[in-house]
Chain A
Amino acid sequence: MSELLVSVRDLHVTFPHRGGDVHAVRGIDLDIHRGECLAIVGESGSGKSVTARTLVGLAGPNAQVRSSRFEIDGRPGPFDWPKLRGGFVGLVMQDALVSLDPLRTVGAEISEVLKVHDIGDRKDRPARVRALLTAVHVPEPERRAAHRPHQLSGGLRQRALIASAIAAKPPLLIADEPTTALDVTVQAQILDLLAERRSTGETLLLISHDLAVVARLADRVLVMRDGQVVESGPTSSLLAAPEHPYTRQLLAAVPSAASRGRRLSAPAEPLAAAPASASAEVVVEAVGLRKRYGAHTVVDGVDLTVRRGEIVGLVGESGSGKTTVAQLLFGLTAPTSGTVAFEGAPWTGLKERRRRSRRRRLQLISQDPLSGFDPRWTVRRIVEEALPSVPAAELLERVGLGADVLDRYPRQLSGGQRQRVAIARALAPRPSLIICDEPVSALDVSVQAQVLDLLADIRAADGTALLFISHDLGVVHHLADRVLVMRDGAVVESGPVDDVFHHPQHEYTRALIDAVPTLEVSR
């Protein structure tokens, strides 16, 4: 067996809390061997991040850590944390925009590591910073070192964050959701960079919620749930033949091309057949939509048609203009040019007063349902407000919620429950179109699976058309009938999902698809 960098047995982490301690990690064993890439996967609240932070002594000021063995670099505690942190273990977190000090230059942040660990002297540190930025493939390192995180693109600042984590050459690098805040193409580049670090001999502990990301990098995987490891093993065998039901459920819940036509939350069952839509009446039709803010064109000539009973996917990376398209269709923002017709009648250019009577036919579901609920209202009032003639419990039943949530406030619900309430409200007035703007992006994969199944059921039952906006190609491929790919405000390619995703014509679509890490799972 190779050298153990970290060895932990029966690790418990508890956070004292009034009204009951939170037992975040409940007795896990963990070995990290030199040179390997170990991944911990789990949904939110599984304890994966707490575990990672405990390895650098940063579980939190109130955290109580217990274990029967806790060895770093072959030695038991107490640890000289300031020396270990950065020197033996480097930490890369999610979203460098907030994980790097926004008021300081990235050069200063990297240089700080060198200073703390007494590497080099004042004179040669700028050169070392440049070398580090070059090592993580930041172009023009000299100029970039003088920039602050907000002046860099998401990919560049994530690279700078990695540079600061590896500055003191720690043998172990912990990456906690290192690509979660990034667009797919950038994510692919960062994953390549992490793979490259491994090939130079660094050991990697990867924390992620994304099985596909894990599959791409890790040698071994630990699946965590509720603070415990439910299953562990070599990546390939674990993904190919998962033993624990939770692992199986998790794998089945990942939406992709392969999952089309079947339920994600209960994999054996097929979805109800979608109504034929090619000749169905047009619900919404946008022609030549253009939106300009000052000199900046956000949406540049988008044509879009959604028919009754159809699910149309709109994919693109951040800044592609897809959310602005949603706003233009919804009619709260007026287009600079172009028109929208809704249910065969003009929609844009009308006074809001004239649209009001038709408003209820067009509903909106957003990524963050909580902000869409008046904080003073209970679920009952929110739903009843939408359709006073029907008991709220009945409407909630349709989205799979019990009457027990009726008198709770939205903030007391889980993310999945909130999104269900939002869907119940959107369905209440029997709209012909629901615009869904990243409706599942904030949800864990198993909850996402339930919500996606629900949306598919609704379409099959009511013939409600959905415009489904997402950055996640897998989700769109799973759910949508047709897809539009947006870039820099324009649609670069559109067509039936299978055609577009299997035979992309535009090079951008191709790049996008290549960048998505996929799970090759035999079922």
Chain B
Amino acid sequence: MTIALDRPLSLRLRRPSGGGVAAAAGFLVLALVAAATPSLFAGDPLAADPLHVLEAPSAAHWFGTDQLGRDVFDRVVHGARHSLLIGVVATGIAVSIGLLLGLLAGLSHKYADEALSRSFDALSAFPLLLLALLFVAVAGPGTVGLVIAIGIATMPNYARVVRTQTLVVRQAGYVTQAVAFGDSRPRLVFRHVLPNVLGPVPVLAVIGLGEAILAAAGLSFLGMGPQPPSPEWGAMLSEGRGYLSVAWWTTVLPGVVVTLTVISLTVVGRRLQRRFEGRLG
């Protein structure tokens, strides 16, 4: 297992076009505002209207209505809070633990590093979904288990990147130079190693957030996340699936919103990554 398992997270890719980045950033702002104050944009996500069940999108119901007559648009807007929060908290867990362990591995001696690296490998041996299922099987379905599972499963990605980066920075000429000026070890770590290791992490986190949201949607689709009638995006898709042949909008439209969110995060993240590399390269 000598080969690092880089997920596509750290891919270097082509520069997205300026218009695309602006659109993506705009969408993200919208999603954030929706998550912060959903009631400003949309009505009650739980208000059922038995007289208007499974209606196609119209001026009154932009995204149509579902099997209980709830407005799909209202539910999608309110769902932003759930889905983004799950993604952010899960990524937060992953980044903070990954950062800590990655730094520890990168800074420590051979054996400790080896042990930590192997444990990242071991954790990667569980596909994210399976790890989450294990959590649910033990702790029962629910948002908390879901968030923890995604956080732990994506943690090794960050830990590996941070470890590699730490090793690179440790070897860097400017650290040697700082030694030549008699800098002490803590001073080296805090003035040179940490800042240069931390730099790329927020960017990775933005891209990783997309991955977390995607994973969360998949798990709630399987019924492992927030339980109905909670308007979480994946759960909405799961509910709407039974009515696919008569009302495509109850699944496809929330699905498109998930996709747009993830695309926007990726596009913005890559743009930041390019800028960051440009600054340092």
A residues whose Cβ falls under 8 Å from a Cβ of B: 330, 332, 352-353, 356-360, 362-364, 366, 368-376, 385-386, 411, 425, 429
The reply to whether A360 and B182 form a contact with Cβ atoms under 8 Å apart is: yes
Q: 1/0 per residue B160-189: CB within 8 Å of A?
A: 000000000000111011011111110000
Q: How many Å lie between the Cα of A373 and that of B176 in the bound state? A: 10
The reply to whether B180 and A363 form a contact with Cβ atoms under 8 Å apart is: yes
Which chain B residues border A359 with CB–CB below 8 Å?
Answer: 179-182
27 contacts between A and B (CB under 8 A): A330-B180, A332-B176, A332-B179, A352-B179, A352-B185, A356-B182, A356-B183, A356-B184, A357-B182, A360-B180, A360-B182, A364-B180, A366-B173, A371-B172, A372-B174, A372-B176, A372-B177, A373-B173, A373-B174, A373-B177, A375-B279, A376-B195, A376-B199, A385-B181, A386-B181, A411-B280, A425-B177
How far does the Cβ of A493 sit from chain B's closest Cβ, in whole Å?
30
How far does the Cβ of A294 sit from chain B's closest Cβ, in whole Å?
15
Q: How many Å lie between the Cα of A492 and that of B82 in the bound state? A: 74
Which chain B residues border A360 with CB–CB below 8 Å?
Answer: 180-182
Extra A-B contacts (9), CB below 8 Å, given A373-B173, A429-B181:
A352-B179, A357-B182, A362-B180, A371-B174, A372-B174, A374-B192, A375-B196, A376-B199, A411-B281
Which chain B residues border A376 with CB–CB below 8 Å?
Answer: 195-196, 199, 280
Q: How many Å lie between the Cα of A126 and that of B144 in the bound state? A: 66
How far does the Cβ of A434 sit from chain B's closest Cβ, in whole Å?
10
Q: 1/0 per residue B68-83: CB within 8 Å of A?
A: 0000000000000000
- Nearest to A362 among chain B residues (CB) is B180
Which chain B residues border A374 with CB–CB below 8 Å?
Answer: 174, 192, 196
B residues whose Cβ falls under 8 Å from a Cβ of A: 172-174, 176-177, 179-185, 192, 195-196, 199, 279-281
- Nearest to A370 among chain B residues (CB) is B173
Specify the main secondary structure of chain B where it touches its partner. helix
For the complex of A and B, 7 pairs with smallest distance between CB atoms: A371-B173, A372-B173, A359-B182, A356-B182, A374-B174, A375-B280, A372-B177
How far does the Cβ of B165 sit from chain A's closest Cβ, in whole Å?
13
- Nearest to B199 among chain A residues (CB) is A376
- Nearest to A358 among chain B residues (CB) is B182
How far does the Cβ of B168 sit from chain A's closest Cβ, in whole Å?
11
Which chain A residues border B180 with CB–CB below 8 Å?
Answer: 330, 359-360, 362-364
Q: How many Å lie between the Cα of A512 and that of B279 in the bound state? A: 43
Which chain A residues border B184 with CB–CB below 8 Å?
Answer: 353, 356
Q: How many Å lie between the Cα of A385 and that of B173 in the bound state? A: 15
Q: How many Å lie between the Cα of A363 and that of B195 in the bound state? A: 24
How far does the Cβ of A130 sit from chain B's closest Cβ, in whole Å?
37
The reply to whether A368 and B181 form a contact with Cβ atoms under 8 Å apart is: no
Q: How many Å lie between the Cα of A93 and that of B264 in the bound state? A: 44
How far does the Cβ of A356 sit from chain B's closest Cβ, in whole Å?
4
Q: How many Å lie between the Cα of A372 and that of B174 in the bound state? A: 4
Which chain B residues border A366 with CB–CB below 8 Å?
Answer: 173
Which chain A residues border B174 with CB–CB below 8 Å?
Answer: 371-375
- Nearest to A422 among chain B residues (CB) is B177
Q: How many Å lie between the Cα of A374 and that of B195 in the bound state? A: 10
Q: How many Å lie between the Cα of A358 and that of B181 in the bound state? A: 9
Which chain A residues border B281 with CB–CB below 8 Å?
Answer: 411
Q: How many Å lie between the Cα of A425 and that of B192 in the bound state? A: 17
Which chain A residues border B195 with CB–CB below 8 Å?
Answer: 376
Q: Which of B176, B181, B281 gathers most chain A CB within 10 Å?
A: B181
The reply to whether A364 and B181 form a contact with Cβ atoms under 8 Å apart is: no
Q: How many Å lie between the Cα of A425 and that of B180 in the bound state? A: 11
The reply to whether B173 and A368 form a contact with Cβ atoms under 8 Å apart is: yes
Q: How many Å lie between the Cα of A371 and that of B173 in the bound state? A: 5
How far does the Cβ of A505 sit from chain B's closest Cβ, in whole Å?
36
Which chain A residues border B196 with CB–CB below 8 Å?
Answer: 374-376
How far does the Cβ of A125 sit from chain B's closest Cβ, in whole Å?
36
Q: Which of B177, B183, B279 gathers most chain A CB within 10 Å?
A: B177
Q: How many Å lie between the Cα of A69 and that of B185 in the bound state? A: 64
Q: How many Å lie between the Cα of A333 and that of B185 in the bound state? A: 16
Given contacts A374-B192, A375-B196, A411-B281, contact A364 B182 (CB under 8 A): no
Q: How many Å lie between the Cα of A220 and that of B87 in the bound state? A: 68
How far does the Cβ of B53 sit from chain A's closest Cβ, in whole Å?
56
- Nearest to A327 among chain B residues (CB) is B176
Q: How many Å lie between the Cα of A384 and that of B64 in the bound state? A: 65
Which chain B residues border A371 with CB–CB below 8 Å?
Answer: 172-174
- Nearest to A376 among chain B residues (CB) is B195
Which chain A residues border B280 with CB–CB below 8 Å?
Answer: 375-376, 411
Q: How many Å lie between the Cα of A411 and that of B280 in the bound state? A: 8
Which chain A residues border B192 with CB–CB below 8 Å?
Answer: 374
- Nearest to A385 among chain B residues (CB) is B181
Q: How many Å lie between the Cα of A357 and that of B180 in the bound state? A: 10
